[in-house]
Amino acid sequence: MKNNLMAAAAGKLLAGLLILMLILFLPAGSLQYANGWLFLGILFIPMLIMGIVLKLKNPELLQKRLNAKETESEQQSVVRISGIMFLAGFITAGLNYRFGWFMLPRWAVIAAAVLFLLSYAMYAEVLRENAYLSRTIEVQENQKVVDTGLYGIVRHPMYSATVLMFLAVPLVLGSLIALPVFCIYPAVIVKRIRNEEEVLERGLAGYAEYKQKVKYRLIPYVY
């Protein structure tokens, strides 16, 4: 079982790496796209480390994170929209490099990379705090409401982290032109949260009370 889990995790990591390389470097027309390599590094090296830690500390959570098949029809549409957005954004960034439309200065790329890594650290903390974090919208057996740590500040800190991460992505890639494409992501997350909270309120004991306790979903005092 453990070997199967490791193989599945390694397979998904490798497949994700190869797919991203294709949709970044083919439009860029060159493997010399340094921003592309930087992004792959800050994405997949922490992902590899996180996978190893989960395998050692919480293999059940790793198994849940590998399950990406949504059963809620509204969430399936969210996944499709997100996939189109990422494809368009990465291709735009690659074309931006190929044709030299407008490349951000190095200091902006470095600042965006730092923001991405800090957001990734926040994402890792959310995984530490919440052992029920499946990638799909569901209420699990014996699931309890988590209301401490980051969950005491906003109801969906994982999404807060991913919004910051993905808004930083086009800047790490040096492409201001791709930023408007990635700005679709917060709207997609708002749609996902609305449906997710309906599911949780119907099936998770104490979630309605938690919503009263923690008012904000993504950003304190804003939303």
Q: Express each pLDDT in 113-129 by its tens digit.
A: 999 999 999 998 988 88
User: pLDDT at position 119, please?
Assistant: 95
The list of the chain residues with pLDDT below 50 reads: none
In DSSP terms, 175 is beta-bridged to 103
CB distance 94 to 27 below 8 Å: yes
The CATH number of 2-213 is 1.20.120.1630
Q: Express each pLDDT in 37-85 by its tens digit.
A: 999 999 999 988 888 887 777 777 777 666 666 666 667 777 888 899 9
- DSSP assignment string, the chain: -HHHHHHHHHHHHHHHHHHHHHHHHHHHTSTT-HHHHHHHHHHHHHHHHHHHHHHHH-HHHHHHHH-----SHHHHHHHHHHHHHHHHHHHHHHHHHHHTS-BPPHHHHHHHHHHHHHHHHHHHHHHHH-TT--SS----TT-----SGGGGT-S-HHHHHHHHHHHHHHHHTTBSTTHHHHTHHHHHHHHHHHHHHHHHHHHSTTHHHHHHHS--SSSTTT-
Q: Which residue type sits at 145? A: V
Query: Among positive and negative, which fits the CA dihedral 22, 27, 31, 33?
Result: negative
CB distance 95 to 23 below 8 Å: no
What does the alpha-carbon distance between residue 1 and residue 21 come to, in Å, rounded to a whole number? 30
User: pLDDT at position 78, please?
Assistant: 79
User: pLDDT at position 136, please?
Assistant: 56
Q: Which residues contact 56 (CB under 8 A, 6 or more apart)?
A: none
